[in-house]
């Protein structure tokens, strides 16, 4: 797959990154290099090979639905970049 | 011998015999850090006052006979991607440069219960992405054997701290080799446990299906002691294995007669440096002399491990790192136009170049139209890699080979070529992809007086055999006694 400047811009938008023009240029060639290398996987025939997303065959690990102690609000807010009245503060979302 | 030069089990004996106190040991380590860390740069944060205060408390407990753990009073270090309540946990990123966790990771909680002394938090590649610790936002860690060389990565700070006697032992994390390769480069013992053996709760996630916490230590005995402390089921980590965990010190047996060892031809073929190959083959000869049955076998899937690894790990990373948005904790950009721009600007300023590169690669591999060609393909290859090891372990108790193709390289040597840096992980990534345990022990020195590490790969949850073979090797060789002069 050819990595173009436009693909890089699209992926950066998906990844929520603002890239400078020079970053985009650099990433276009670096990603082309890396993708060119990982294309090596196509040498392998994987027809009918099931994918392994996880080495342990586990799914849906549940616990009992019991009330447990939760974090103190002040403690959780102590790392907030911006806060107000016991809440995380963000820029206006709805006009 | 200075106190800081001793192993945990040696210090533990001295403490038990009341020949020395925990405060004296802790001061010895802190003074050592003061003396050499300006040169080595192992630490991001040193908790001097906190460590001494804790040492006083533990000293009282030992005196009153209330501290029974062999690790009680032993000063150690933790990689800066494991949460420590009240102590800065940066992941070596600008994004978390001000993050003080409100809770302890499970491993830290477990170590506290053993009364260890936390000396500080060690340097690493940002978000554990890298093989040289050059990707840290804060500083470069130097290899204690040669200050112009890298310590390996991403747990380079932990490995350098143990090698330079700035910590008795340390914890690292390993997603594709991040404990084992720095252990090899710095000449210490490093163990990446089986996936699920050590809780990941409180470990800042990089690639959740591959990440695993493990110890870096001066010898195999200390490694077993650390494993006893940190391994075990944890309901807070849904991938944690609910089973009976052995006493790992029972594996410290000097006997490997009849153990069957396989050496993958692909690990000692093209690409490996001559001196590394020689040391590894000599180590295999030593194991054979000690009674193991060793033979070469073919693991042809090896050459596909790196591409599969970089797709899987980057895909998982792009998803895990989506949480850094500048809202609840961590860095927030000062200038932005609206909420979306706040996210974008925060992430662009908060992440370094390598992290952005991996987020981009992962986002691309998961994006509509490319998912089947890249991410799904990599997961299918993961199945083949796992099958390759399953087959090997139907014949052998253990797979042995090199840890990295070379010894420690010069700072800056590979920094401009991401792909070349990725190839550094050729012998280690398969172990994470298959979820297996891998242990590295020193097995020689090259012509530049740099350490070479032997990698032992075991069956899932068979750390015991790894430790036994490593212990036997160690008891019959002197490589682990080599220490850098700083």
- pLDDT tens-digit profile, chain B (486 residues): 899 999 999 999 999 999 999 999 999 999 999 999 999 999 999 999 999 999 999 999 999 999 999 999 999 999 999 999 999 999 999 999 999 999 999 999 999 999 999 999 999 999 999 999 999 999 999 999 999 999 999 999 999 999 999 999 999 999 999 999 999 999 999 999 999 999 999 999 999 999 999 999 999 999 999 999 999 999 999 999 999 999 999 999 999 999 999 999 999 998 899 999 999 999 999 999 999 999 999 999 999 999 999 999 999 999 999 999 999 999 999 999 999 999 999 999 999 999 999 999 999 999 989 999 999 999 999 999 999 999 999 999 999 999 999 999 999 999 888 888 888 899 999 999 999 999 999 999 999 999 999 999 999 999 999 999 999 999 999 999 999 998
Residue B383 and residue A16: Cβ atoms within 8 Å?
Answer: no
| Residue A63 pLDDT | 86
Distance from CA of A6 to the nearest CA of B (A): 12
Testing the interface with A: which of B360, B368, B378 to mutate, by most A Cβ within 10 A? B360
| CB–CB contact B325 A16 (8 Å) | yes
**Of B100, B92, B42, the residue nearest B355 (C-alpha):** B92
Contact call for A16 and B356, based on CB within 8 A = no
Q: Which of B332, B343, B360 sits opposite A82 (nearest CB)?
A: B332
pLDDT at A95 over 80: no
Count of positions (residues) in chain A: 95
Q: Among all residues of chain B, which has the CA nearest to that of A50?
A: B380
Contacts of B195 in chain A (CB under 8 A): 55-56
CA distance B2 to chain A (A): 41
Is B329 within 8 Å of A49 when comparing Cβ atoms? no
Structure-block tokens of residue B218: 């001066």
Which has more confidence, A68 or B224?
B224
Size of interface A-B (CB pairs under 8 A): 155
**What residues in A contact B434, CB-CB < 8 Å?**
55
Give the list of residues 6+ apart from residue B391 with CB closer than 8 angstroms, or none.
none
- Chain A residue at shortest CA distance from B240: A56
Measured between beta carbons, the chain A residues lying within 8 angstroms of B239 are 54, 56, 58, 61
| pLDDT band for position A59 (cuts 50, 70, 90) | confident
pLDDT value of position A1 = 64
Which residues of B have a catalytic role annotated?
Answer: 79, 154, 178
DSSP for residue B410: B
Could you give the ipTM of this predicted complex?
0.95
Which of B100, B304, B322 is the closest to A40 by Cβ? Answer: B304
- Please give, rounded to a whole number of angstroms, the shortest distance from the CA of B275 to a CA of chain A: 28
Token pair of B350 as six digits: 């908060």
Closest Cβ–Cβ partner in B310, B342, B435 for A34: B310
Does B332 contact A90 at a Cβ distance shorter than 8 Å?
no
Cβ <8 Å between A91 and B434: no
Contacts of A50 in chain B (CB under 8 A): 380, 383
- B88, exposed or middle or buried, with CB in 10 Å at 0-12, 13-18, 19+? middle
Query: Which residue of B lies nearest to A42 if distances are taken between CA atoms?
Result: B377
CB contact under 8 A, B363 and A15: yes
Look at A90 and B373 and tell me if their CB atoms are within 8 Å: no
Query: Which residues in chain A touch residue B460, judged by CB atoms under 8 angstroms apart?
Result: 55
Report all structural domains of chain A as residue ranges with CATH numbers, in order of start: 5-42 (1.10.20)
The pLDDT of residue B109: 98
Distance CA B140, CA B132 (A): 9
A6 is written with which tokens? Answer: 């436009």
pLDDT band at A58 (very low <50, low <70, confident <90, very high): confident
CA distances to B15, B293, B407, B471, B472 from B288, rounded to whole Å, are 38, 6, 24, 15, 12
CA–CA separation, B333 vs B174, rounded Å? 30
Note the pLDDT of residue B270. 87
CB contact under 8 A, B418 and A34: yes
CA distance B467 to B227: 10
> Does the beta-carbon distance from B342 to A8 stay under 8 Å?
no
Which of B160, B82, B69, B149 has the alpha carbon at shortest distance from B117?
B69
In angstroms, rounded to a whole number, what is the distance separating the alpha carbons of residues B216 and B158?
7
Which class for A55: exposed (0-12), middle (13-18), buried (19 or more C-beta within 10 A)?
A: buried
Question: A71 to chain B: which residues are within 8 Å by CB?
Answer: 102-103
Query: Does the beta-carbon distance from B348 to A78 stay under 8 Å?
Result: no
Partners of residue B361 in chain A, C-beta under 8 Å = 31, 34-35
Indicate the residue of B307, B342, B379 with minimum beta-carbon distance to A40: B307
- Contact status, residue B56 vs residue B73, Cβ threshold 8 Å: no
Of B128, B136, B140, the residue nearest B181 (C-alpha): B128
**Minimum distance, in Å, between the CA of residue B54 and any CA atom of chain A:** 23
Chain B residue with CA closest to A14: the answer is B363
Distance from CA of B447 to the nearest CA of A (A): 32
Hey, are the CB atoms on A15 and B310 less than 8 Å from each other? no
Nearest-neighbour CA in chain A from B481: distance (Å): 36
Q: Which residues pair with B399 in a beta bridge?
A: B262, B457
A93 CA to chain B: closest CA distance, Å?
Answer: 7
The beta-carbon neighbor of A41 closest among B327, B364, B377 is B377
Asked if A27's CB is within 8 angstroms of B419's CB, the reply is no
């Amino acid at each position: 797959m050819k990595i173009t400047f436009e693909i890089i811009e699209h992926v950066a938008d998906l990844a929520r990154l603002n890239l400078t023009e020079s970053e985009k240029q650099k990433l276009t060639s670096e990603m082309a290099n890396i993708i060119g290398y990982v294309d090596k996987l196509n040498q392998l025939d994987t027809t009918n090979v099931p994918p392994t997303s996880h080495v342990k065959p586990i799914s849906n690990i549940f616990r009992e639905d019991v009330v447990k102690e939760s974090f103190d609000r002040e403690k959780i807010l102590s790392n907030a970049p911006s806060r107000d009245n016991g809440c995380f503060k963000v820029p206006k979302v709805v006009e | 011998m200075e106190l800081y030069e001793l192993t945990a089990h040696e210090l533990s004996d001295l403490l038990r015999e009341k020949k020395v106190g925990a405060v004296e040991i802790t001061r010895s380590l802190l003074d050592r850090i003061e003396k050499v860390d300006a040169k080595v740069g192992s630490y991001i944060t040193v908790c001097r006052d906190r460590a001494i205060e804790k040492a006083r408390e533990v000293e009282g407990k030992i005196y009153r006979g209330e501290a029974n753990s062999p690790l009680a009073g032993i000063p150690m270090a933790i990689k800066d991607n494991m949460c420590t309540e009240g102590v800065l946990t940066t992941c070596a990123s600008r994004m978390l440069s001000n993050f003080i966790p409100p809770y302890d990771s499970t491993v830290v909680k477990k170590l506290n219960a053993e009364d260890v002394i936390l000396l500080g938090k060690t340097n690493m590649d940002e978000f554990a992405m890298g093989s040289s610790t050059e990707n840290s936002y804060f500083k470069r860690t130097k290899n204690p054997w040669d200050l112009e060389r890298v310590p390996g990565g991403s747990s380079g700070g932990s490995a350098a701290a143990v090698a330079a006697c700035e910590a008795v032992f340390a914890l690292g994390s390993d997603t594709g080799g991040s404990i084992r390769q720095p252990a090899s480069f710095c000449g210490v013992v490093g163990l990446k446990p089986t996936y699920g053996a050590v809780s990941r709760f409180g470990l800042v996630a990089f690639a959740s299906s591959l990440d695993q916490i493990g110890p870096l230590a001066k010898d195999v005995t200390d490694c077993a002691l650390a494993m006893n402390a940190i391994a075990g089921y944890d309901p807070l980590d849904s991938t944690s294995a609910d089973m009976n965990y052995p006493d790992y010190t029972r594996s410290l047996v000097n006997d490997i007669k009849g153990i069957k060892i396989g050496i993958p031809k692909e690990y000692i073929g093209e690409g490996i440096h001559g001196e590394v190959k020689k040391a590894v083959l000599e180590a295999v000869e030593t194991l054979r002399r000690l009674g193991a049955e060793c033979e070469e076998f073919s693991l042809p899937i090896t050459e596909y491990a790196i591409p599969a690894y970089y797709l899987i790990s980057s895909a998982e990373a792009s998803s895990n790192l989506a949480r850094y948005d500048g809202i609840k904790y961590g860095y927030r950009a000062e200038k932005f136009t609206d909420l979306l721009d706040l996210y974008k600007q925060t992430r662009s300023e908060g992440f370094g170049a390598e992290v952005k590169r991996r987020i981009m690669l992962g986002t691309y591999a998961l994006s509509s139209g490319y998912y089947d060609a890249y991410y799904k393909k990599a997961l299918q290859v993961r199945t083949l890699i796992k099958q390759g090891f399953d087959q090997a372990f139907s014949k052998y108790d253990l797979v042995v080979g090199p840890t990295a193709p070379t010894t420690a390289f010069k700072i800056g040597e590979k920094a401009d070529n991401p792909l070349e840096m990725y190839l550094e992980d050729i012998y280690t990534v398969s172990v994470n992809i298959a979820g297996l345990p891998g242990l590295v022990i020193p097995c020689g020195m090259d012509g530049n007086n740099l350490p070479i590490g032997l990698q032992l790969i075991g069956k899932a949850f068979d750390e015991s055999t790894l430790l036994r073979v490593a212990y036997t090797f160690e008891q019959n060789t002197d490589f682990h006694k080599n220490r850098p002069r700083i």
